[in-house]
Structure 1
Amino acid sequence: MSKSSSLSSDKTLRRQPQQQRGKQRVEKILIAAAEVFAEAGFAAATIQQIADRANTAVGSIYQFFPDKLAIFNALFVEHLRLTECIEADFFAQKIDRPLDRGISEYIDAYAIYFEEPIPRCVVVQYYLQPIGGMETMMTDLPNLQSISYKRHANFYRQRNPNLSEAKSELLSEVAHNIVQGLVPNTLRRDEKYRQAIYAEIKDVLYGYLNPHIGDHLLPVSNQLMMCPDCQSDRIAKNGRQQGKQRYICRGCGRQFLDRYTQRGYPLEVRQRCLDLHAQGIGFREIERQTGVDCNTVINWVKSLELKSVEIEA
């Protein structure tokens, strides 16, 4: 994502570190800056404080960054790169995993990520304490957000092919804003509060998205197969039987088919056979007319007669 952003490194770094030692120094400076910005705020933070935290000289920082704004924008670039990794990992997962599990894993990934100093600093500073001058260096950010919305919208349409493009993009934008609206303030509170908010976000997203992309709307070929005994989703294909896919549960060992044909004759066929018998037609003739084995018809008649006797008694 950062490759297409206006926040490219040539606008934040005075010079690119060529050696591994230089790259490690820049990384150390960025982490130190994130911690200082988070503690003191961007306006109050100084280059000297960042240098002290990074255990380096002020001149070493100026070798790479012209000012604090350049440092913060470098942090933003790194934030975009890391969030792209989270997004890529999410979309690499199976499309048919249960919606509640997918939402939970998605939010948990970000919850862990935001415990790190760089994303915590960037999100809190950008959303709650805007920095003057940033807007001129982030002209491409709306386009990046639009790309993210469309990616999630496409994911929604894969889960529900009947979902329109316009509706899926609206769902995606609202879901994003739910997260972006709650997370920044959450990061300034204690861990217990953060975990409570993350749990609420999961519930809100599931309630909002389930009617549109819930498991019941998955295409038949993508619906998650569950074991009928232990309800495990650890299912593997196990050959075919009479044209139907057979599965085996890796949890309990139960073997089953993807679908079952209803056994027995429809009620209307049974009633027709009984009506023909009541008209005095023989069992063999009923078999020829209906295709139902005469022995089956005999059993139906006996069963009916037995019920009649029980009722009279």
Structure 2
Amino acid sequence: MPEDAGAPRRQARGRARIEQILLAAAAVFGEVGYEAATTNAIAARAGISPGSLYQFFANKDEVGRALAEAYAERLATLELLGGLTPENLDRVLDDALARIVGFSIEHPGFKALFARTDMPPSMRAAVAPAHDAIEARVREAIAAIMPDADDRRIATMATVILSMVKGLMPLIVAEADAPQRRLLVIELHRGIVAYVSSARGDVA
């Protein structure tokens, strides 16, 4: 059977269309939230018909899952909390928060899929791998500076820290005034450092 010379071109067009849809979905999710978003709105933002969208995704949940997977892959490239020690806590945490804020601003749909605690049941499984990866990184960082803490204490602390980040991140990202945004990040940083320092004192 002769090889289809046009197949690679069609595949490239398909990948480009998927990326177009995901970029549109990120914008729509970021503006109106996941629940209020519709496939019609995503298609309109992408400049295509709903029928064209359905050639690649059966429904909004499939779009959301694909976007969550794309975010998870990009998050994996971020260096967060590596080499943390009690002595460099301020610097490493400041760098990690700056990277997360930058990522959230660059990817407007991120907060709609990740920076919340009431994720719709249909999306929990989709975002779980990225959540788990971030939580594992936070646990590793805590264990590095609190080697005497048991697993339950470390897990609880990771949950508290991530909840602090999730709680403030939407406000930080939505803040248009750069100095005010930086102040919010500073207060988040201060809260995490105070919490970790207090916990280290309890374990010591």
* Conservation of the 8 A alpha-carbon contact between 1:104 and 1:202: yes
How has the CA–CA distance of structure 1 residues 35 and 184 changed in structure 2, closer, same or farther, with 3 Å as cutoff?
Answer: same
Q: Matched residues in 2 for 1:28 and 1:197: separation?
A: 33
Residue number in structure 1 paired with 2:30: 38
SS in 1 for 2:53: helix
Greater fraction of residues in strand: 1
2:113 counterpart (116, 122, 131): 122
SS of the residue corresponding to residue 149 of structure 2 reads coil
Structure 1, unaligned runs of 5 or more: 1-17, 218-313
Deviation of the 1:40 alpha carbon: 4.1
Tell me the amino acid that sits aligned with residue 184 of structure 2.
Answer: I
Give 1:118 deviation, angstroms: 2.8
Q: 1:102 aligns with which of 73, 92, 96?
A: 92
- Report if the CA contact (8 A) 2:29-2:109 is conserved: no
- The match for 2:144 is 158
What RMSD over aligned residues (CA atoms) do the two structures have, in Å? 3.3
For residue 64 of structure 2, what is the aligned residue in structure 1?
A: 72
Considering fraction of residues, name the structure with more helix.
2
> What SS class does the counterpart of residue 148 from structure 2 fall into?
coil
SS at 2:80 equivalent: helix
**Does the CA-based 8 Å contact 1:35-1:121 persist in structure 2?**
no
Contact preservation (8 Å) 1:32, 1:53: yes
CA distance in 2, matches of 1:148, 1:36: 24
Q: CA deviation at 1:156?
A: 2.3
TM-score normalized with structure 2 length: 0.74
Deviations 1:55-74 (A, max 9, x none): 33332211101122322232
Structure 2, unmatched stretches of 5+, are 1-9
Matched, 1:180 2:172: no
Higher relative contact order (CA 8 A, sep 6+): 2
Question: How many residues align structurally?
Answer: 191
Conserved? CA contact 1:153–1:169, under 8 Å: yes
Q: Which structure's CA Rg is the greater one?
A: 1
User: Which residues of 2 match residues 186-205 of structure 1 at below 5 A?
Assistant: 186-192=172-178, 193-205=180-192
